[in-house]
DNA sequence: CAAACAATCAATTAATCTCTTGAATCAAGG
DNA sequence: CCTTGATTCAAGAGATTAATTGATTGTTTG
């Protein structure tokens, strides 16, 4: 198993971890875990996998030290083992996006002119927040919002957007965020808001990246 | 091909890139290319691959946009397509490194109870050394050993371990060390030695920590 | 134009993953 | 202690990937 050459052994370790990331299902599980810790059943149903299959993927991730598990009563709760993983996934996204032409096409065709929806960076958002110049909306579902969100954000899941438009200011910049750079929700929210004449923009990345950057977060106080 | 769900399609792309990284050979090629651009033949010989095999790996990397190639006369020169790759590889190795130690421990605990692999602290090692009660082995490769090692240590890289067992005493405690708490080498050496009936233990940390603590070191005098 | 190189292609075998299925644990509640 | 619910384990069919071998395509040089 272990090669005689330590350098090769190191590459072998790196490759093993990369292979652990080399499955769309596992990446999806990691993204779900980047938001909050979850049980196997929850992960399976969110990702559309069977329980057994999800469990096996999770064990594989655990074998390579990417996630940790602990038991709570009947269920086993998984979580990311290392916040650095968010960085790794981000880098993977960036490399993929920058280099795979097909990916760009997929993105563009789905998100119609992405450039028009120019995103706001974390830094920029922080500046605007300090000046009170911005209304921040979180387009993720309630449970995820409750588990943690950006300070001062309003939870406005996509489905509720249309009937809660009156809660939003017409004169102020609105910034929407969700799970990360590839999360669809905030794109759609911004598109919808702009169509209605609001001044809206996306946050460049999402809640997991925000938290990973060590910026402050809030939690809702409902069990 | 692309599912109706763009999110899934995105994960599929990310996974494909991760899989492209999921091979020790390809990672080694990328590392070589991170230094400078190179021809196929050069890469093959540096990495110990056959030309055909190296070529195939390189094409795979190219298919996923990680490297670019252009022809110069008879030869085809490859280079990294994106400087961001260095960031990605860095993140990968940080995540791996943080977890390799833990993984090894888990693996080892399958075979022997953890307590048996209890590491020896620097202080403890110093006491045993003063009493001449210990044989100290350095499991790092020759070059690293030559650059500096603990006083009195024998250089015994993992690959040579099996055929040099006779150099080791059966009656005396053996302590193995390598690069630090996350270095795999000494774990494997200790596991191997114990399997063969030697009394072996790991040093809690490695050469860098020893030197950083201001303790005495030796250097080999061969160029 | 033929010979010599450098790299790629094509095809085969061996090895590794993936998903599914059904049985086996393990904890909590009656 | 038996049942239920949640998860893991074990085994097998099907698909993917890796390394090897030998032939093939371009490029330069005599």
Residue-wise pLDDT tens digits, B144-163: 788 788 988 999 987 788 88
- Indicate if A121 and A74 belong to the same structural domain: no
How many whole angstroms separate alpha carbon B219 and alpha carbon B197? 31
> Which bases of chain C come closer than 7 Å to a protein CB?
5-10, 17-23, 26-28
- Indicate if A36 and A117 belong to the same structural domain: no
Name the residues in B31-90 having a C-beta closer than 7 Å to nucleic acid strand C. 39-41, 51-52, 55-56, 58-59, 69, 74-76
Instruction: Give the end of a domain, one of B82, B117, B142.
Output: B82
- Indicate if A149 and A202 belong to the same structural domain: yes
pLDDT above 60: residue B102? no
For residue A148, give Cα distances in angstroms to A28, A52, A125, A155, B74.
Answer: 19, 29, 18, 11, 58
Overall domain count for chain A: 2
pLDDT above 90: residue B172? no
What is the CA A215 to C1' D4 distance in angstroms? 43
pLDDT in tens, A145-183: 888 899 989 999 888 888 888 888 887 788 999 887 666
Whether residue B90 lies inside any domain: the answer is no
Whether residue B125 lies inside any domain: the answer is yes
Indicate which CATH number applies to the domain containing B20: 1.10.10.10
pLDDT of A162 = 82
Mean pLDDT of chain A: 81
For residue B171, give Cα distances in angstroms to B116, B168, B198, B199, B202.
Answer: 17, 9, 8, 8, 17
- Indicate if A115 and A208 belong to the same structural domain: yes
Whether residue A38 lies inside any domain: the answer is yes
Whether residue B89 lies inside any domain: the answer is no
Indicate which CATH number applies to the domain containing B205: 3.40.250.10
Query: Which is higher by pLDDT, A156 or A120?
Result: A156
User: What residues contact B28, with CB distance under 8 A and at least 6 apart?
Assistant: A7, A8, A11, B47
- Indicate if A157 and A75 belong to the same structural domain: no
pLDDT of B23 = 95
ipTM: 0.69
pLDDT in tens, A207-218: 888 888 888 888
Handedness of CA A79, A183, A180, A167 (dihedral sign): negative
Across the interface, do A106 and B81 touch by the CB < 8 Å criterion? no
Whether residue A122 lies inside any domain: the answer is yes
Mean pLDDT computed over B15-38: 90
Distance from CA of A31 to the nearest CA of B (A): 10
How many whole angstroms separate alpha carbon A80 and alpha carbon A66? 6
Whether residue A90 lies inside any domain: the answer is no
Query: Which is higher by pLDDT, A2 or B119?
Result: B119
How many whole angstroms separate alpha carbon A208 and alpha carbon A217? 10
How many whole angstroms separate alpha carbon A3 and alpha carbon A7? 9
Instruction: Give the end of a domain, one of A82, A97, A119.
Output: A82
- Residue B175's SS3 state is strand
Distance from CA of B129 to the nearest CA of A (A): 27
Whether residue B181 lies inside any domain: the answer is yes
pLDDT of A133 = 76
Across the interface, do B13 and A88 touch by the CB < 8 Å criterion? no
- Indicate if B66 and B137 belong to the same structural domain: no
What spatial distance separates the first Cα and last Cα of chain A, rounded to whole Å? Answer: 47
The catalytic residue positions of A are 178
* Buried b / exposed e along A18-30 (16+ C-beta atoms within 10 A): bbbbbbbbbbbbb
- Return the residue matching tokens 């990672």: B27
- Indicate if B104 and B77 belong to the same structural domain: no
- Residue A57's SS3 state is helix
A15 contacts A62 by C-beta, under 8 angstroms: no
- Indicate if A76 and A163 belong to the same structural domain: no
User: What residues contact A95, with CB distance under 8 A and at least 6 apart?
Assistant: B17, B65, B66, B82, B84, B85, B88
Domain holding B60, by residue range, is 6-82
Q: What angle do CA A190, A158, A43 make, to 5 degrees?
A: 120
* Buried b / exposed e along B124-135 (16+ C-beta atoms within 10 A): ebeebbeeeebb
Q: What percent of chain B has pLDDT over 70?
A: 82
- The CB-side HSE value for A149 (13 A sphere, CA atoms) comes to 24
Whether residue B29 lies inside any domain: the answer is yes
**Which chain A residues have a beta carbon less than 8 Å from that of B66?**
95, 99
Helix (H) or strand (E) holding A161: helix A158-161
Mean pLDDT computed over A102-114: 42
- Indicate if B127 and B30 belong to the same structural domain: no
Among A77-86, B39-48, B82-91, B213-222, the range scoring the smallest mean pLDDT is B213-222
């Amino acid at each position: 198993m272990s090669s005689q050459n330590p350098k090769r052994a190191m590459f072998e370790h790196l490759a093993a971890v990369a292979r652990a990331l080399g499955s769309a299902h596992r990446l999806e599980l990691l993204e779900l875990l980047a938001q909050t810790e979850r049980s196997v059943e929850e992960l399976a149903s969110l990702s559309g996998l069977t329980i057994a299959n999800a469990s096996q993927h999770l064990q594989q991730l655990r074998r390579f030290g990417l996630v940790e598990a602990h038991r709570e009563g009947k269920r086993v709760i998984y979580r990311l083992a290392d916040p650095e993983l968010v960085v790794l996934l981000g880098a993977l996204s960036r490399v993929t996006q920058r280099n795979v032409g097909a990916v760009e096409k997929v993105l563009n065709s789905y998100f119609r002119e992405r450039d028009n929806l120019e995103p706001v960076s974390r830094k920029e958002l922080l500046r605007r927040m300090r000046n009170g110049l911005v209304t921040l909306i979180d387009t993720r579902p309630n449970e995820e919002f409750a588990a943690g969100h950006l300070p001062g954000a309003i939870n406005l899941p996509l489905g509720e957007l249309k009937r809660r438009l009156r809660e939003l200011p017409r004169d102020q910049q609105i910034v929407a965020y969700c799970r990360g750079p590839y999360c669809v929700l905030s794109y759609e929210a911004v598109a919808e808001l702009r169509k209605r004449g609001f001044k809206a923009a996306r946050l460049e990345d999402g809640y997991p990246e925000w938290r990973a950057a060590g910026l402050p977060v809030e939690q809702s106080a409902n069990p």
